[in-house]
Structure 1
Amino acid sequence: MRIAIDAEPLAARMCWCRLCQYLGGGSGTVNVCFPSDKLTVTGEVRWHHSIADSGTAMRRGFCPECGTPLFSLAESRPHLSFIRAGALDDPDLLAPQAVIWTDAAPDWAHLDPDLPHYPAQIPPIA
């Protein structure tokens, strides 16, 4: 399975919502946003539908062969695709610019003091 992206990232966030903690095996996740129309996916992606902690209807994409979480897509914002930073060939493409859902983070979580922290969801990217 391959993801080709013909755009620069729009934003990157570290998320500590409970669902991201499940997806990250206990840690938060780092998610990089791209315009959906600039992505080309080769190979199969399986989708799981859920409601995020924010109340937003989501589709979460994962690799059906290895189970790796790949995508988060808000059904209300189909023009944006969030890709897990670890699924990118270059995970250093864009470092997180904010930490969100800090109120859900466990007490032991390391929250980068150099980044802005938000207790829950922040306004979506335009």
Structure 2
Amino acid sequence: MPLSGHCLCKAVTYKVDIDAPLLTGYDHCDDCQRQSGSTYSLVVVVPKDKLEVKGPVKKWKGTADSGNAVWRWFCEECGSPIAHDPDAAPEIIALKGGSLDTELKKDLKPDTEIWTASKLPFCQEHLAKPFVHMPQ
């Protein structure tokens, strides 16, 4: 199932030529809460070498708890978050699930939660594979 998506204004588009995501889940880290403006970020992890992005992407460098850089990708035009790209795992990238094309995101089946140590207490969803921090 190839994936495709875009930002709110459609200036940034992307495609990923894969059969299935490596992981689909909720990232409860504080940075993802702030970036999404919500209780977590829905992430779709894919191999970075399969991702093709077109359009004006701005990258902001943050720092993970490990001390490694995490690059947050945004549309320069509308500010929509597109992905986060951790230096600690250069082979993968976490696309923001809300940026997928509508029909694709309807078929997502999140089963993993990461950074449950930062999960807000009123978030009542519980997925099958929870991780206190990052999966090893």
Shorter-chain TM range is 0.7 to 0.9
Write the distance in 2 (CA, Å) between the matches of 1:102 and 1:64: 30
The secondary structure found in structure 2 opposite 1:91 is helix
CA positional deviation for 1:77: 2.2
Name which of structure 1's ranges 2-11 and 40-49 shifts more when overlaid on structure 2. Answer: 2-11
Corresponding residue of 1:104: 118
Write the distance in 1 (CA, Å) between the matches of 2:111 and 2:128: 6
Write the distance in 1 (CA, Å) between the matches of 2:84 and 2:31: 11
RMSD over equivalenced CA pairs, Å: 1.5
Write the distance in 2 (CA, Å) between the matches of 1:12 and 1:53: 22
Corresponding residue of 1:43: 55
Aligned residues of 1:99 and 1:111 also touching (Cα < 8 A): no
Aligned residues of 2:43 and 2:96 also touching (Cα < 8 A): yes
Name which of structure 1's ranges 84-93 and 43-52 shifts more when overlaid on structure 2. Answer: 84-93
Aligned residues of 2:24 and 2:110 also touching (Cα < 8 A): yes
Structure 1's unaligned 5+ residue stretches are none
Residues 110-125 of structure 1 aligned to structure 2 (within 5 Å): 110-112=124-126, 114-123=127-136
Corresponding residue of 1:19: 31
CA positional deviation for 1:54: 4.2
Write the distance in 2 (CA, Å) between the matches of 1:53 and 1:93: 32
TM-score normalized with structure 1 length: 0.87
How many residues align? The count is 122
Moved over 6 A (4+): none
Q: Does 1:95 align with 2:109?
A: yes
CA positional deviation for 1:36: 1.2
CA positional deviation for 1:111: 2.5
Aligned residues of 1:11 and 1:94 also touching (Cα < 8 A): no
TM-score normalized with structure 2 length: 0.81
Aligned identity (percent) is 30
Corresponding residue of 1:63: 75
Corresponding residue of 1:4: 15
CA positional deviation for 1:63: 0.7
Tell me which amino acid in the other structure corresponds to 2:129: P
Structure 2's unaligned 5+ residue stretches are 1-11
